[in-house]
Amino acid sequence: MNNATAVDEKIKQVDKDFDLVLITERFQESLILLKDLLCWDTRDIENIRLNENKFDQGKPTVLSNQAIKILEKYLAADIKLYNHFKQKFDKKLELFGKERMQDEIARLEAQNQQMKAICKIRSVLYHFAIEKRIIPETVNVADSDEPYCKLLVDEAIYEESVDIQTVRANNAMKMSKHNKINQIKDNDM
């Protein structure tokens, strides 16, 4: 979107439609604000960071001032959207309270550690082939057989040990039965 008015209108629409926009680089705080907004429990937002120990492939790319200006112009709408919701997010954090947020983060981290222990989550170094190169990457795996634990980590790691298609087919059959039961109930009325 190059039209500044259209961008402003879209921001207003998103602002009206969403009470909270999560900020990726403030993910834990975002989840805590979401938990508070929806009256959830800490268990409802427990999470693990996938690929948190990502293999360092060297120094980050340094952009020239000219490249930065080109990107800022090209991404102007995205930057405006981000800045608007980042500012709102910062205000929500301020209203939530710094000390309260620190307590909530500590509680969430403790819950996450407990969940990692229960699910026996560990990091494993895998080697992925990407464009004829082997890229080492650390991924999290769950050694627990609990389905809940398997949902917390990358499904692709388990495709060999769990027949994902069978699980999906079983779920589809359950939904089909549920829909048929509802149709029968509707026809009886």
Residue 52 lies in a domain: yes
Give the count of domains, the chain: 2
Examine the domain organization and report whether 94 and 34 are in the same domain. yes
Residue 152 lies in a domain: no
Proportion of the chain above pLDDT 70, given as a percent = 66
Amino acid symbol at 153: V
Examine the domain organization and report whether 37 and 101 are in the same domain. yes
Residue 188 lies in a domain: yes
Examine the domain organization and report whether 13 and 83 are in the same domain. yes
Q: Is 139 helix (H, G, I), strand (E, B) or coil?
A: strand
**Residue 126 β-bridge partners:** 137
pLDDT tens digits along 127-183: 666 666 666 666 677 778 777 777 777 554 544 444 444 544 555 555 555 444 445
- Nearest to 119, CA basis, from 146, 94, 140, 87: 146
pLDDT tens digits along 12-21: 999 999 999 9
Claim: this prediction has a pTM higher than 0.75: no
Mean pLDDT of all residues in the chain?
79
Q: Which two tokens stand for residue 156?
A: 């692709």
Residue 108, CA distances (Å) to 41, 51, 172 in order:
10, 19, 34
Contact 149, 142 (CB under 8 A): yes
pLDDT tens digits along 94-131: 999 999 999 999 999 999 999 888 888 877 776 666 66
Residue 70 lies in a domain: yes
Residue 24 lies in a domain: yes
Q: Domain range holding 179?
A: 162-189
Measured between alpha carbons, how far is 66 from 72 in angstroms, rounded to an integer? 10
